[in-house]
Amino acid sequence: MKKLGKIIIPILLIFAVILAIANNPSIDDFSNWCVQEIAGESPVGRALGALASTALSPALMQNVIQSFVSQKNYLLFSIFEVGEVRVLGVFNRFYNISEFYK
């Protein structure tokens, strides 16, 4: 039984790493998420609210957002920055991590 655990755990870890790499969000994924957040009342939506007022359509809004976003790609996850707002992207999910940088 111990031998089986020594085989399964590394396989699961390798699988998790491959899954994280495959689901590392792109800047397009982030801009789509931002468009949805702008509609809601979230910190990211408020930070991007000024951009939303200049955009005419979601497609144009995505292009505007992409021009203001910087992405740091760490292979397993990405960190997106818009002004002082930082967002962690992992497994195609986004989490506001700005409060950890204060």
The predicted-structure confidence for 34-82, as pLDDT tens digits, reads as follows 877 776 666 666 666 655 555 456 677 777 788 889 999 999 999 999 8
- Contacts of 89-95 with C-beta under 8 Å, sequence gap 24+, read 89/24, 89/25, 89/29, 89/30, 90/20, 90/23, 90/24, 90/25, 91/19, 91/20, 91/23, 92/23, 92/25, 92/29, 93/25, 94/25, 94/30, 94/33
pLDDT of residue 52: 57
Q: What global pTM score does this model have?
A: 0.76
